[in-house]
Amino acid sequence: MGIELRPAQALRLLHQTALLQARDDEHDLTVRQTAILLTIYLEAPPHTVRGLAARLNVTKPVITRALDTMGGLELLERRRDPADKRNVLVRRTVKGSLHVSRMADRLVEQAGALQP
């Protein structure tokens, strides 16, 4: 069972949460970076550069650039797969978990404030 939103409400929710994120002292993430981050935090691991590229239908260099940025922000980390040194595993971090949790809190708060 999902929540029902009219298109205008859905856009308002997106707008309000984007405004909150833009006003926050933390770095802004692009939509693509946000999609990658949420894929890592909401879908079961393991996550690899190759797998993320396939999941988002983009090239591996696109994923690598996004991971470079988010790794610099300590939202995730990359490690070589000990079982297959060709693969790079992308893993969650505490800071990343807190960031995703704050994103969820903002969404819930803004969804509760929507006009019926």
Q: What is the pLDDT of residue 19?
A: 87
CA distance 47 to 18: 26
Domain 29-103 in CATH 3.40.50.1980: no
**How are strands ordered across the β-sheet holding 88-92?**
47-48, 88-92, 76-80
Q: Please tell me the pTM assigned to this model.
A: 0.88
Computed over every residue of the chain, the mean pLDDT equals: 91
SS3 8: helix
Least confident of 16-20, 49-53, 59-63: 16-20
Is 102 exposed, middle or buried, given 0-12, 13-18 or 19+ CB atoms closer than 10 A?
middle
Q: pLDDT over 70 for what percent of the chain? A: 97
